[in-house]
Structure 1
């Protein structure tokens, strides 16, 4: 065989092998997304799913030849046994590389041991109880904690000369109790106290008898924490029908009380409500404007992203960031380590993961419901910058 023929044959063989080598290098990652897509909290799960899918669609070429597949499962609401079973199936049968999602803290706590045993990263996109990240070294949270959003609001309320007495009303489960305690702690630091507290059922509560007690007590303000969704509208309508605003009881609360996709259903009863939160659809930044525009292009002009949608979006950003950083050497431990040092500019503002706690660091905004161009909006008017979880700092 001539030298020329040998060289030609070698070149052809190499050309034939190269595409196979490139194909072998590409990796297909799986993310098991567990959210509530049925029952009273279905709108919350839909937001997280839509946020995650929007990030995927906008960044589908960001990983080169690697791909990320979302496998979505419905935990039906606050149902730890269901969430645990779904997570087990995702790990054992579907062999996911990452677990993600979760609206309710009890569901997150049920999944935590599975993440630990399987050494699978678990990216929490909502569940907000401060202690949840302690349940597994594989948990990274991109959403918020209850003390993180509640203490700044309490500090703001304590400075208001017309707020001398505050009644609290919260959902009767771990996050609600934490919110109640965090708000009271924030007031106490400023020399003020909560005058009375009440806890309501987590699912489908009748707010009227509870709010009547509040009205009879005549506080200057009522602080509220609820899971969000349609419950917030039900509370707002009861607040209006019982005439608490006219009685001089100001409504303040965590951002779920005035969640954006429910504001149109609340009507003018929501005007003036002040909340503390990490995201508003009206957040003034180009990145957020582009995010809202992309959301409405994908899901309809009448659809608006909420904090849940941003949680899904940023959660996928953190997962993609870890995949990029590890360059094919993806393990559970390595992925968590990469996310511990992850930071980004989000539609909500600058965010980062605290490497010591694996919880998010972010701005908390004090917002007031106002009518802007004929529509109700959460308008930010004060910022607490780069807030870490004060729950862990206090322990």
Structure 2
């Protein structure tokens, strides 16, 4: 009789727990581009979400996780702001997450601040986003941290002159300014600088200027999309050696390397993730990702999306499912774990990522065009916001 009572009580507790999970779901508003520029990254992010749930489950601390996805349609700050408002007011989300283009994140961050809804940023690379928004934390990267590392690399390689080419929007301007500052401070000469509109698709005039200047190297930042392969192909068609390019890793993003083909061979980049990174965590992630989407390359966006969800689960579990915004932010500042990209942490002073920056060269391995790591700098903080 006692045994039956115990079993019945256990069943009631399990039923109550299930009811609580259903009644109080953990709501995460996920803002990404699923159409327009960046649509491929949105699809890859979706796969990473499924990889995460397959490993960690859909319930944490007695609450069932609900991802509420919204399509920002590319760099469209007005759209992103409206969707974030709907998620905060209408859906009453516990977290905002995702974010790809910097203009979108800059539009959403003030809403996160006023509503005290934690915002976990996957990929918006402008340094200045976090300073005025205490409920935002970045898990991706900044162009300034990459540009600083590349300036040091250029100096160590003995490049006497470098030409800079960036897209003209906030991350590109950040990258250009940091590279110019650091490279000139190390004694280097800037052979010239040029900026292209974000939507430019013909780079021949810019490349001709670079060719006329004949620098030792060319520093490049372009956001990951269908445009970097076009630039790389036009660069090679102009008779220039792609091995002269040193850039931020977006230009040789794994998703676009097949399109760039041999025009990417020899390009050196600095970045926070490489598909060929040799670690058990990365192998496990890639195997799980490929089991769900075998045709899709594994790039930095899905890896950071996976890390963002892992961080959310950690802070929810630490609070036993009873969340308060300020406690959540304090816990996010303490995040530290081994990611598929390598060890990561959050700088408690700035709420920005601390991570290893990998130097990679594009090579052909087993008939595939891939980034191959050859050096690294550990524990890099964003120089644009570090205090």
Is the TM value for this pair above 0.5?
Answer: yes
Contact 2:61–2:320 (Cα < 8 Å) also in 1: no
Provide the alpha-carbon RMSD of the alignment.
Answer: 2.1
User: What CA distance in whole angstroms lies between the structure 1 residues aligned with 2:128 and 2:178?
Assistant: 13
Aligned residue among 325, 329, 334 for 1:332: 325
Deviations along 1:98-149, one digit per CA (max 9) or x if unpaired, are 0011111111111011111211100000001011111311001100111112
CA deviation after TM superposition for structure 1 residue 25, in Å: 4.7
**Per-residue deviation, residues 225-262 of structure 1 (Å, max 9, x unmatched):** 0111211111111111111118xx70110000101111
Identify the range of structure 1 (60-69 vs 116-125) with the bigger mean alpha-carbon deviation: 60-69
| Structure 2 segments unaligned to the other structure (5+ residues) | none
The 5 Å alignment of 1:380-391 reads: 380-391=373-384
Residues 272-307 of structure 1, C-alpha deviation per residue, up to 9 Å, x if partnerless?
A: 00000110001111111111111111111x322111
CA–CA separation in structure 2 for the residues paired with 1:270 and 1:121: 38
Residue 54 (structure 1) shift? 2.1
Q: How does 1:94-133 map to 2 (within 5 A)?
A: 94-133=91-130
Structure 1 residues 202-213: aligned runs within 5 Å: 202-213=198-209
Greater gyration radius: 1
The within-5 A match list for 1:194-273 is: 194-245=190-241, 250-273=244-267
Structure-2 separation of matches of 1:8 and 1:371: 66
Within 5 A, what are the aligned runs for 1:284-303? 284-300=278-294, 302-303=295-296
> 1:225–1:256: 8 Å Cα contact kept in structure 2?
yes
Residue 41 of structure 2 corresponds to residue 44 of structure 1 = yes
* 2:170 matched residue in structure 1: 174
Which moved further from structure 2: 44-53 or 375-384? 44-53
Question: Distance in 2 between the 1:18 and 1:73 partners?
Answer: 35
Alignment size in residue pairs:
385
Q: Is the 8 Å Cα contact of residues 363 and 383 (structure 1) preserved in structure 2? A: yes
TM-score by length of 1: 0.92
1:322 aligns with 2:322: no
C-alpha distance in structure 1 between counterparts of 2:97 and 2:108, whole Å: 10
| Structure 1 unpaired stretches of 5+ | none
1:22 equivalent to 2:17? Answer yes
Q: Partners of 1:48 and 1:183 in 2: how far apart?
A: 30
